[in-house]
Amino acid sequence: MSVFRYFSTSRNRRPNHDGFSVIEIVVASAIIVTLVTAAANIWILNFKISRTSNVTTQASLLTEEASEALNYFRDMSWAGYIAPLPLNTPYYISWNNSSMKYATSTTPILINNTYTVSFTFYAVNRDVSTGDISGYSTTCPGSPCDTHSKKAVISVYASSSPSVPLMQSTILLHDIYKK
């Protein structure tokens, strides 16, 4: 009789719940895959933002360095460094380690195999009656042109896209020392 009870299929008997069903495993797997995919996408996005931030920071620092170089040229000699450079011509700045000075060139100079920094001068036009700046031009037409001031547009380009600047900055240089 005890053997019979053991093999009986009574309705009062509870089913054995010792493992997971296939549906539970599929649902758990789907949740894990979704979480891992979301985490991977967040990591990739973080990497892209970090890369963009790094490029922007480097371009900003190179723009500031070019501005300092132009101020250096102004301080050394307006007549020797800035006045002779034609308007509306891109120039490239480099650092000469042997002379410990900045230099300019009309040939693009690659910095860290990644960036090119250029500057272009424009004439500063002044109102004859007030002396206020009235505009900027690519030529110096005569009397309203201030020969002791120049607008400089500094541009930083990536070697991967040399026609689109990563960053631009505009400064106004004045021959304050009359050198």
| 97-148: pLDDT as tens digits | 888 888 889 999 888 888 999 999 999 988 888 888 888 888 876 667 888 9
pLDDT < 70 positions in the chain: 1-18, 141-143, 179
Helices (H) and strands (E) in the chain, counts: 2, 7
Q: How far is CA 44 from the centre of its chain?
A: 19
Asked whether 50 and 42 are in contact (CB, 8 A), the reply is no
